[in-house]
Structure formats: structure tokens, C-alpha cells
Structure 1
Amino acid sequence: MNKITPLFLALTLIFASCSSTENDAELLQKNETKLKSYTLKRDANGRYSIDFDVKENTEVNTFKNSDQSNEIVLSEAVQKQAQKHSNNFNLENDLLKIGFLEENNGKKTQITVEDENITFAKKGVTEFLNNYSVTKNEDGTFTLDFQVNENVQTEFIYNDTKEIYEVHLSSGLTKNHNFSRTIEVPQSNILKIDFVNHKYSARSQSEAAVRKPNVVIDDLASSDYF
């Protein structure tokens, strides 16, 4: 009996070690972020799209919810899947909602855009901004790229009170049309970007300013979604 005990203990330790390793691997897989990066884009014709990269073995499914929001679900795939994806979306009543849901860890990202349909938009909203994109980088920062039309002055500021990155656009002589900014997410963990269109050159005439398009990106920690 004494000879069996050490062998039994050794086997027990081996099985316990294997079980612990398997549990660690499962936990690591569960906490792994499937979404690597994404880019929200609006082209010169007002069309919206989103390009995104995911980790290997990630299945992607897109759904249209009853409230017209768009949900992109990322889950574990058995077979090898494409890592680069692109979807086109339409504004619904001047709103666009896109959500990423990672099934393995419950992580949720909500993107909300308020903009005017360029087909029906009045001059003053579209005469300044040509196109723009917002990219979520793998290091957690964001990159805002945008192009303005001819004779458009641009001023980029951060509104501390409202925690909003503001791009002020107005008529004026300028040589630069293409701009790029790397921006950090505020402590609220909600990124807000407003393009502020000034109908008149005077910034004091705030009543003429139109805040469109505006973008809100929120990494949700609760179960609330849209």
C-alpha cells in the first residue's frame, strides 16, 4: 500500500496540472478580444461603411434590429475565417447605429452617428466637409482623417467642458484640404467627435453653427445595448 501511495499522488498532481492548464487556456480564450481594429468612413457621396479586422478563427454575423440599429456579432469559429471585413450602411432618419458584440467575453462597442442624408441635405451642412473616417487602432487610440472642400478654414479643438473633439469649419482661404489627428479617449471612456459647420465666418454667431456629422463611440460595460 505504501508503494501505491506515491504513484497515486504523482498521477493526481499530473491530472491536476493538466486540468489547471486547460482552465487557464479556456479563461484566456474567453477574455481574448476578437475585434482588433475598425474604421468608420463617410465618402464624398455621403455613403457610410465600416472596415474591421478580427482575430483568427472568428466568425462574423451582421443583423438588422427592429429599431434599425446594426449589430455585428463576433464568435469563435471552428474553421478558418476571413480576418478583414467591410460592410456598407445607410442612415435611418439621420441616424446610424453600429454595434460590435463579442460573444466570448460579452464586450460591446456602440457607434452612433448623426448626419444628414446628403441627397436631402441643405447647403451649409455639406459645403465644408468632403469626407472623413474614424479609425480605432490596436493600441486603443483613434485616428481622425478628414478632407474639406475648397476655401474652407479648419480649427481642431478639444472642448473640456463637454468632452468633445470639435472640428470647426467655416468659409475662408486656405491651402490645406487633408487633415489627420490622433486622439485619446477621455476618462469617461466615451469618444465624441463633432464637425461644427459655421454658416458665417464670425464664430460668435453660434446660432448658425450646425453640429453634423457627429460621432459617439462607447465601449459598454453593462448589459445595456442600444
Structure 2
Amino acid sequence: MRKLAFYALAAVTSYVLISCSSDNVELIKNPQNTEKLLKSFEIKRDANGRYSIDYNVDDNVVVSSVKNSTSKINEFYLSSENKSIGRNNYKEELPLEEDQLKIGFVEDSYENNRTIFIKDQDILLAKGEENEEFLKEYSLAGSGTDIYQLDFTVNKGITTDFVYNKEEMRYEIHLKEGDNRRKSYSKTFIKTEEAPLEIHFINHRNQEQRLAADITGRPVVIIND
């Protein structure tokens, strides 16, 4: 009788051990490592209208950049290796195409992907030409969080007003001519899970006539992840 009880206990123990071993194997096959490979990035438009991107990764991350000919997205594929690559910082110039710029960061876990869409007018200036737009230059920086930092400079005599458009669920920066000596601004934005982060620069021209056609929204920046 004792032998039967022992064999029964052994059978149950073996089953539990096998089940635990199977779970361990499954965990090894499907690791739950969702650490973000992209540490930070900064998109810039200089005073001449040229766009560029700086981004930082861990030193064990391999980066492959591809221009998707169908979607026109500048795709950056990030994958982790078990050895040091010896490079953390990358920089590329990204020209507008049909007044648009699309950027996509794709990580090998597919857990932390991020897309950035920019709509702007191609205003590339030759050497010596002066930028007469309301917005002179700007940059948008992000990291592994949902917090983004916008820094921008306007030309002389341009006033700035920050507005959140609840109906459109977007942030608007209204620029118009006025008596203002301040040129540099900085603003922090927090992206929510419910919607993309949208930032629109709204340029108001010919205020005396108040023509709707003279209100233009550019550049526009949309971030989704």
C-alpha cells in the first residue's frame, strides 16, 4: 500500500516538474524583454529649411535605415546583439518629399515602435537668402517616455500663442505679426495613450483683412506609437 502511495506521489511530482520545465522552456523561447532600444531622438529644421534627425541607442544595438519606396517612410530598424557595436549616436539628413517627411522606428520586439509624420513647405534657401517665414527654426526631442520637448525660434516681430484645440485634439501654436522682441520658445508636451500627439504651427497673415485663406497650418508634427 505504501509503495502504491509512493508511486502515486512520484507520478504527481514528475508531472509538476515536467510542467514547470515546459513553462521555463516557453519563457526562454518567448522572453518578455520589452526594453526600449531607442533611447532618444531629436528632429531639427534649421533656418534654411533643412531637416535632420539625431538619435541615440545602446551600444549593443544594430541600426539599419531603409527608405520604403511605397509608403515613403524613412524606416530605422533597431535590433539588439549580444556584443558591443561600438556606436551609440546616429545622424541623418532627411529631405522633404512632396512637402512631407515620414519617419518610423521599428524595434525587433515590435513592442516599442514609433512613427513621426511631418507636413511642411519645402523652403530650402540658397546661401545668403534670408528666411522670411514666421517660424525660423525648430526642433522636437523625445526619449523613452511620452514626454517631448519642442524648442523653436521665430523671426523678429512675431507673437506666439499656445492653444489646445479640444475639438481637434491637437496642440496649436499661433504665430502672427506683432510687437514682440522675444524670439526663442520652449514647450513640453505629453503624449497620451488615447490619441497621437499633434502639434500644429498656425501662421496668421494679413491680420487687417482677416482673410481665411491667409491662415496656414505648417509645419505639422504628428507622433504615434
Give the TM-score, by structure 1 length.
0.80
Indicate whether 1:53 and 2:53 are aligned.
no
Name the CA distance, whole Å, in 1 between partners of 2:58 and 2:32: 14
Q: 1:207 is paired with a residue of what secondary structure?
A: helix
| Alignment partner, residue 118 of structure 2 | 113
| Superposed counterparts of 1:162-173, under 5 Å | 162-173=168-179
CA distance in 2 between counterparts of 1:117 and 1:182 reads 26
Shift of 1:50: 1.1
- % identity of equivalent residues: 33
Aligned residues of 1:112 and 1:217 also touching (Cα < 8 A): yes
Asked whether the equivalents of residues 137 and 143 of structure 1 are also in contact (C-alpha less than 8 Å), the reply is no
Cα pair 1:130 1:146 within 8 Å, conserved: yes
Q: How many residues align?
A: 214
Query: Deviations 1:31-68 (Å, cap 9, x if unpaired)?
Result: 22211221111111111111112234111010011133
Return the alpha-carbon distance in structure 1 between the equivalents of residues 94 and 161 of structure 2.
29
Equivalent residue letter for 2:170: I
Say whether 1:216 aligns with 2:219: no
CA RMSD of superposed structures (Å):
3.0
Alpha-carbon separation, structure 2, partners of 1:51 and 1:10: 56
Q: Which one has a bigger Cα radius of gyration?
A: 2
Aligned partner of 2:163 in structure 1 is 157
Deviation at 1:27, TM superposition (A): 1.8
Structure 1, unpaired ranges of 5+: 3-8, 220-226
Q: How does 1:10-89 map to 2 (within 5 A)?
A: 27-29=31-33, 31-67=34-70, 68-81=72-85, 82-89=87-94
Instruction: Report if the CA contact (8 A) 1:32-1:105 is conserved.
Output: no
- Kept in 2: contact 1:169–1:195 (CA 8 A): yes
Match of 1:196 in 2: 202
1:154-181 Cα distance to aligned partner (Å, 9 max, x none): 1111111101111111111212100001
Indicate the residue corresponding to 2:154 in structure 1.
148
In the superposition, relative to structure 1, how do residues 132 and 165 fare at CA in structure 2: closer, same or farther (>3 Å)?
A: same
Superposed displacement of residue 12, structure 1: 10
Letter in 2 for 1:114: K
The answer to whether structure 1 residue 91 and structure 2 residue 96 are counterparts is: yes
How much does 1:19 deviate? 7.9
1:64·1:71 contact (CA, 8 Å) conserved in 2?
Answer: yes
Query: Partner residue of 1:135?
Result: 141
